[in-house]
Amino acid sequence: MLDRLNQQPPDALLALIKLYNADPRPTKIDLGVGVYRTADGATPVFGAIKEAEKRLVEGQDTKAYLGPEGDMGFVHALMPHVFGDALPTGGRIDGMQTPGGTGAVRLAVALAHKAGVQKIWMGTPSWPNHAQILADCGMETGTFNHAGDNGSADMDALRDVLAKAGKDDAVLLHGACHNPTGVDYTDAEWDEIAGLLKDSGVPPIIDLAYQGLGDGMDADAYGVRKVVSSVPEVLVAYSCDKNFGLYRDRVGALYAIGGDADVVTRVMSNGSALARANWSMPPDHGGAAVRVILEDESLTANWLEELESMRQRIGQVRAKLAESGTAGSVDLTPLGKQKGMFAMLPVSKEQVQQLREDHGVYMAGSGRINVAGLTMGNIDAFVAALADVTG
């Protein structure tokens, strides 16, 4: 049996972590996988998380199973931060904890599939795992262009898709801090998208994995809130990996908004059944730590402060890159108006390899960089390396 399996390539993005770690050059720069780094290049545990973990160690009296929905205290405490004033009432929303944002996307796609969706449209380029998850769930994928030539989102492509989508189609949208392009929809575009979704009846799945790292917690939720206020059914896949710095602890949630409480109850029962068959229940610790923070006003304030300082640092790095103008053939100015941790650079696979081999700069083969991997201390070296390989 087992010898019938073909060798699979390692995940290209995750493989970079090992390559980077094995590089002995002290000047190496990690712009690969999406983890935030401080001005000193570190990825420390949030102070608020450390405190919450301390309280958990002292106060938690059991590790007994919860259930496939995980820690509902966590799921419900997070809801006001995600949905704000747009939080649906009358039982029209519920959620469940998932293993990271990946688990949330996976569950959203599996639920859509079970509900009869045959094809999901997604803007490209997208987070590479989106396509893998869709394929693995047996979902047909339709693609449209995400970023236009003028540095804004390609609204025409999205308009076309929503006009032609079939009755068994859904659309996958990035809520904020688009991965990998950093090109987000403006508020006015979200207003239009919400109207188009309403008119077309195409159900949206919104992936919100970087709330707070673009323009702020509320601003980054504008699209989600607008869509939730406009259409009867939405699935929101949420990740706490970045905005609570919990990466390896795998903390996410899936929220389902339905036409009425009865629909939502049924969605949750299907979500629980799918979770049980996939991972039984999500890992507890990270979600519990987030719950402890969100149940405590002063810890919540600490967390929001830490998140805001990360957001500001990313903004400073973006501004400095944009000020550099061009590096070789690469125009860095658009990075100043893009959002979040990522940007796509127009570099070839060979140039990516040359950056790695000659300059110790690690980035995805697609040309994506994690802007948050740059510091004021290494930006100049990065820009010079880029100029060297593209000039």
Q: Catalog residues that contact ligand LMR under the rule CB under 6 A.
A: 13, 33-34, 127, 129, 179
Cβ–Cβ contacts within 10 Å for residue 247, how many? 18
Q: Which is nearer to ligand LMR, 102 or 230 (CB)?
A: 102
Cα of first residue to Cα of last residue in the chain, in angstroms, is 52
- 274: which DSSP letter? H
Distance CA 279, CA 335 (A): 38
127 catalytic? Reply is yes
Distance CA 166, CA 146 (A): 20
Active-site pick, 121, 165, 190, 242: 242
CA angle, residues 384, 387, 389, in degrees to nearest 5: 110
User: In 3D, which of 285, 275, 200 has the Cα closest to residue 247?
Assistant: 285
Report the amino acid identity of residue 319: A
Q: What phi and psi, each to the nearest 5 degrees, are found at residue 278? A: -90, -60
Residue 241 CB, nearest approach to ligand LMR (Å) = 7
Report the amino acid identity of residue 367: G
Report the amino acid identity of residue 171: V
23 catalytic? Reply is no
Residue 78 CB, nearest approach to ligand LMR (Å) = 19
Residue 365 CB, nearest approach to ligand LMR (Å) = 13
Active-site pick, 207, 241, 249, 284: 207
Active-site pick, 209, 364, 372, 385: 209
Q: Which is nearer to ligand LMR, 88 or 101 (CB)?
A: 101
Burial class (CB in 10 A: 0-12, 13-18, 19+), 129: middle
Residue 34 CB, nearest approach to ligand LMR (Å) = 3
Residue 332 CB, nearest approach to ligand LMR (Å) = 20
Residue 74 CB, nearest approach to ligand LMR (Å) = 20
Q: Which is nearer to ligand LMR, 179 or 181 (CB)?
A: 179
- Is residue 97 within 8 A of residue 253, CB to CB? The reply is yes
Q: Output the CA torsion 220→225→228→230 (10° steps).
A: -120
209 catalytic? Reply is yes
Q: Which is nearer to ligand LMR, 226 or 339 (CB)?
A: 339
Q: Which is nearer to ligand LMR, 13 or 227 (CB)?
A: 13
CA atoms within 13 A on the CB side of 382: 27
- Is residue 249 within 8 A of residue 288, CB to CB? The reply is no
Find all residues with CB under 8 Å of 138, minimum gap 6, and list them. 113
- Is residue 96 within 8 A of residue 238, CB to CB? The reply is no
Q: What phi and psi, each to the nearest 5 degrees, are found at residue 239? A: -120, 135
Q: Which is nearer to ligand LMR, 237 or 299 (CB)?
A: 237
Q: Which is nearer to ligand LMR, 13 or 133 (CB)?
A: 13
157 catalytic? Reply is no
Active-site pick, 71, 121, 127, 176: 127
Residue 33 CB, nearest approach to ligand LMR (Å) = 4
Active site residues: 127, 207, 209, 242
